[in-house]
Structure 1
Amino acid sequence: MNIEVRLCPKEQSFILHNIYPLYLHDIAEIWGVRPNRFGVFEKEDVPTLSEQTKQLDVWWEQPSVLFPYLISVDGIAAGLALVATTPYIPSPNIQYYLNDFFVLRTFRRQGVAQRAAELVFDHFQGAWELQTNPTERNMSTQIFWRKTLNTYTGGRYTEHDGVHPEKGDMLVFRFNNK
């Protein structure tokens, strides 16, 4: 199995636009989010998936600040990783923020997500942060990040409760891979 993580060029942004609604659907259960009146998992009254995914376009507007990664397995789109830098980081003293990370269910429990996360982290050396839902509904993700970060950092990561300015209570993981 060949797992790759590469920056997604603007001309292929439609691939991430295809994956993004699946990601929102997947995390809706964890966050207790219901679709809007048009069946779109979005807070605003966005009527179509096409309109919703236009919000992703910001990831290609600032190429030295925002980094949209496509995860692929054997040449097939398998997920996404969105990495942000200042000013899009919710905490001080952090250089890289894993804003979103998602692997399609078809590729889960095969080591794809862990390897993809490691490859994403290897793109940038420095102080990292990622956050996830702290509730029991999200235990599998919490276990995944603990295992992945423990392996990647040799146990040199921190974990604490925090608050995201838009999302509320979060479980915050930090590490430095410099």
Structure 2
Amino acid sequence: MNIEVRLCPKEQSFIIHNLYPLYLHDMSEIWGTRPNPYGIFDEDAGVRTLSELSERHENWWEQPSDLFPYLITVDGSAAGFALVTDESEASSPNTKYHLNDYFVLRAYRRQGVAQKAAVQLFNQLQGGWELQTNSSERNMTSQIFWRRTLDTYTGGKYTEGKGVHPKKGDMLVFRFSSNR
């Protein structure tokens, strides 16, 4: 199985746009969100189509020094994405990168794809990292995944604490460095 993590060029942004609604659907189980009246998982009740939802995320390809949309592929097929922001999104001053969203399709889960892709991503962007995940019991799978992945990647040299996201509420915050 050939796993590749690479910056997604603008010409291929449609791939992440295609995957994004699946991510939102998966997250609805954790966050308890419901689709809007038009069947779109979005906090804006006025978004009526997936095309409109995609348009709202075009900024990921318009700010190349601040926003980093990564595509995850397995044997050349789209398998997920990682949306990384610069330090402005992080809550710690020692953080250079913030993992905003991370998603691997269900077809590739429990095969080591997510962990290997995360390691590739961290190795590509050297410096201090922060990622946040829902701290509720509904999200234990993700919490276990990040603890195991970061423990292996950093040799146990990461921190875990509680934080509060302005929109999402209580979060579990992980911080580590990818400097090797």
User: Smaller-chain TM-score range?
Assistant: over 0.9
RMSD over equivalenced CA pairs, Å: 0.9
TM-score, structure 1 normalization? 0.97
Matched, 1:66 2:67: yes
Matched, 1:103 2:104: yes
Show the counterpart of 1:6: 6
> What does 1:1-178 align with in structure 2 at a 5 Å threshold?
1-45=1-45, 46-178=47-179
Paired letter, 1:77: A
How many Å apart are 1:55 and its aligned residue?
A: 1.7
Q: Which moved more, 1:165-174 or 1:82-91?
A: 82-91
Paired letter, 1:10: K
How many Å apart are 1:88 and its aligned residue?
A: 3.1
How many Å apart are 1:166 and its aligned residue?
A: 2.1
Q: Deviations over 1:34-59 (max 9, x none)?
A: 00011100011210111112121111
Gaps of 5+ in 2: none
Q: How many residues are paired up?
A: 178
**1:157, 1:12 → 2: CA distance?**
34
Percentage identity across paired residues of the two chains: 67
4+ long deviations beyond 6 Å? none
**1:86, 1:96 → 2: CA distance?**
5
Q: Which moved more, 1:50-59 or 1:112-121?
A: 50-59
**1:156, 1:52 → 2: CA distance?**
38
Gaps of 5+ in 1: none
Q: Deviations over 1:96-150 (max 9, x none)?
A: 0000000000000000000000011011111100000000000000000000000
Paired letter, 1:169: D
Equivalent pair of 1:90/1:165 in contact (CA under 8 Å) = no
TM-score, structure 2 normalization? 0.96
